[in-house]
């Protein structure tokens, strides 16, 4: 879902639409749970200290978290997803993997099913969702983030060698700022750099995760969905 908590607040409170909204506790130790898309150009984002977000966007409107309301909308979303696949792996309150293997006869091509899913969420809930369609979980997650909000991105096997190499290594699951800094010292800034780096040397530098990261850098991810 797109800016889930903030989008719900804007839906429930129309006066907030089009305005920068920060959902979270407005206090010295408060943290941003979600920033609306109007707040993001100022540098606001989730998991950010609220004091920092307010400094970046002084005119942002801060609203408290309403867990019960978000849970209610989440249940509606997952009820829709249930109609599209028997294998759903929730990642969070507003995100999930769906395995569409074997559903083409009933739902049509995966891209068609994804668009129908988005349309139903918009019609029945009133919010937008971004979807990535791909051969594996890593690429699907990557695709879902590429064209937010309200995006639908299809990544086919033939797209991988064009799409991935220019991207920063932080696009790979598990590579956060700390690991990215270590890789930068090795001259690895992009996924293309990571692909070409000798595996034996990479393993010496960062340990057992080296092979996993290089597989993802080539768009390879054989993890199966874990239905819940």
Residue 52 in 3-state DSSP?
helix
> Burial, 82: exposed, middle or buried (Cβ in 10 Å; 0-12, 13-18, 19+)?
exposed
> Burial, 89: exposed, middle or buried (Cβ in 10 Å; 0-12, 13-18, 19+)?
middle
Pairing of strands 131-133, 95-98: unpaired
Q: Go through the chain and tell me how many residues it has.
A: 228
95 is catalytic: yes
- Considering the candidates 9, 89, 95, 158, report the single residue annotated as catalytic: 95
44 Cβ neighbours under 8 A, 6+ residues apart: 20, 22, 32, 35, 53, 56, 57, 60
The residues that are catalytic are: 95
């Amino acid at each position: 879902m797109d800016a889930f908590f903030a989008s719900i607040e804007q839906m429930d409170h129309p006066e907030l639409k089009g305005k920068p909204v920060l959902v979270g506790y407005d206090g010295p130790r408060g943290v941003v749970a979600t920033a609306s898309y109007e707040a993001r150009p100022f540098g606001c984002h989730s998991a950010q200290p609220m004091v920092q977000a307010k400094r970046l966007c002084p005119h942002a409107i801060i609203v408290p978290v309403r867990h019960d309301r978000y849970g209610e909308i989440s249940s509606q979303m997952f009820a829709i997803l249930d109609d599209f696949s028997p294998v759903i792996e929730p990642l969070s309150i507003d995100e999930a993997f769906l395995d569409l293997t074997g559903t083409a006869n009933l739902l049509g091509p995966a891209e068609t099913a994804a668009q129908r899913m988005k349309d139903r969420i918009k019609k029945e809930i009133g919010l937008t969702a971004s979807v990535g369609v791909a051969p594996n979980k890593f690429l699907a997650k990557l695709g879902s983030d590429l064209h937010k909000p309200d995006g639908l991105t299809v990544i086919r096997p033939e797209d991988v060698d064009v799409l991935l190499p220019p991207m920063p290594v932080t696009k790979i699951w598990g590579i956060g700022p700390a690991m990215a800094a270590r890789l930068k010292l090795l001259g690895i800034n992009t996924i293309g750099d990571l692909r070409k780096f000798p595996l034996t040397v990479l393993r010496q530098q960062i340990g057992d995760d080296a092979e996993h990261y290089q597989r993802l850098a080539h768009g390879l991810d054989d993890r199966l969905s874990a239905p819940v």
